[in-house]
Structure 1
Amino acid sequence: MDDERIEPPLTGGERETLRVYLDWHRATLALKCAGLSDEDLRRRPMPPSALSLLGLVRHMAEVERSWFRRVIADEDVPLVWSPDRDFQAAYDATGADRTEAFAAWEAEIAHARRIEAAAPSLDVTGTDRRSGTAYSLRLVMLHVIQEYARHNGHADLLREGIDGVVGV
């Protein structure tokens, strides 16, 4: 696997560091999925868990959409695979289409980048319509980074269970 991820800066400013770490984690999930067949991406190699790499891609599309579009940008858009806000629904990739999942994920990343770039500072806030809780862009970026970090750990194990490939 070619690793073309851009390493985060060692001395960058806060926003640049958050932006590059987020992109590094996005690229890590893509790298974990690289070179696999549709069947492999849907494979659940760690029973009894129903988790698959394609399920992780779908879940992260929902995470990006929820935090950046729904909270920070206040867009009234439904979730794609989790209509009842049950993010577990996105994990079920049994009949999922690879092209659709990756297109949705990549589109949500593009929206997130646009929303982040347009924000004048990390102090910009958005509100979760359900709870009424306000979140800063800074917290959203940190939260999405930790979501990717946690799920990239899962992706490491899933990929190893599929074809033995290890490492970040």
Structure 2
Amino acid sequence: MTTERIAPPYVAGEREMLTSWLDWHRETLALKCAGLSEARLRERAAPPSTLSLLGLVRHMAEVERAWFRRTLAGEDAPPIYYGPDDPDGDFDHVDTASVSEAFATWRAEVEYARKIVAAQPDLEVTGVNKRTGKTVSLRWILVHMIEEYARHNGHADILRERIDGSTGV
């Protein structure tokens, strides 16, 4: 797995700044997973939690899909790894999950999200959150996604350090 994390610009327009920070956080997650075996990616490093690096990748694929496909683009894009009877399936079912499939799915959702964002005329474009029925702007979604990745990258940082002592990145 190769990753290319580009630092966000210090000065840029709002859209470039937000998308740059989101991409930086996306690649931070990839870097936290880089170089680990499949077994290590599946490892629950903080029992009894089912949280693992692979689970985080699967979860973020779902989050990308929910906010960009379902909410912003209004697509019928059902969940991939969880369901009504299995709300934590993205985290819970990693023991036999395909690592390559999870990363490919996550990368595909990221690429699709980038295309959806690029197609929007401005940050004021809105979509409807299917769960809450609330209208949200593209600006709000981008800020939320940065927050979502930042929070989960903190989890990834702790998991990675617990797994093999790696810090930083």
TM-score band (shorter)? over 0.9
Question: SS in structure 1 opposite 2:127?
Answer: strand
What is the aligned partner in structure 2 of residue 147 from structure 1?
148
Distance 1:103 1:140 in 2: 23
Spell out the pairing of 1:70-89 with structure 2 (5 A cutoff): 70-84=70-84, 88-89=88-89
- Render the CA deviation track for 1:10-55: whole Å, top value 9, x for unaligned: 1111000000000000000000000111000000111121110000
What is the aligned partner in structure 2 of residue 43 from structure 1?
43
What is the aligned partner in structure 2 of residue 63 from structure 1?
63
The count of corresponding residues between Structure 1 and Structure 2 is 167
Give the CA deviation at 1:139: 0.3
Change (3 A) 1:4 1:99: closer
Distance 1:85 1:160 in 2: 33
- Render the CA deviation track for 1:70-110: whole Å, top value 9, x for unaligned: 00000001010122296522112222110110111011001
Q: What is the letter of the counterpart of residue 58 of structure 2?
A: R
- Check conservation: 2:3, 2:30, Cα contact below 8 A: no
What is the aligned partner in structure 2 of residue 114 from structure 1?
115
- 2:57 counterpart of 1:54: no
What is the aligned partner in structure 1 of residue 103 from structure 2?
102
- Check conservation: 1:62, 1:87, Cα contact below 8 A: no
Question: SS in structure 2 opposite 1:126?
Answer: strand
- Check conservation: 1:29, 1:155, Cα contact below 8 A: yes
Q: Which runs of 5+ in 2 are unaligned?
A: none
Question: SS in structure 2 opposite 1:48?
Answer: coil
What is the aligned partner in structure 2 of residue 18 from structure 1?
18
Change (3 A) 1:166 1:85: farther
TM-score (norm 2): 0.94
- Render the CA deviation track for 1:124-161: whole Å, top value 9, x for unaligned: 00012332211100000111110000000000010011
Distance 2:53 2:147 in 1: 17
Question: SS in structure 2 opposite 1:135?
Answer: strand
Q: Which runs of 5+ in 1 are unaligned?
A: none
Structure 1 window deviating more from structure 2 (122-131 vs 31-40): it is 122-131
Question: SS in structure 2 opposite 1:116?
Answer: helix
Q: What is the letter of the counterpart of residue 24 of structure 1?
A: W
Structure 1 window deviating more from structure 2 (21-30 vs 92-101): it is 92-101
Question: SS in structure 1 opposite 2:24?
Answer: helix
- Check conservation: 1:81, 1:89, Cα contact below 8 A: yes
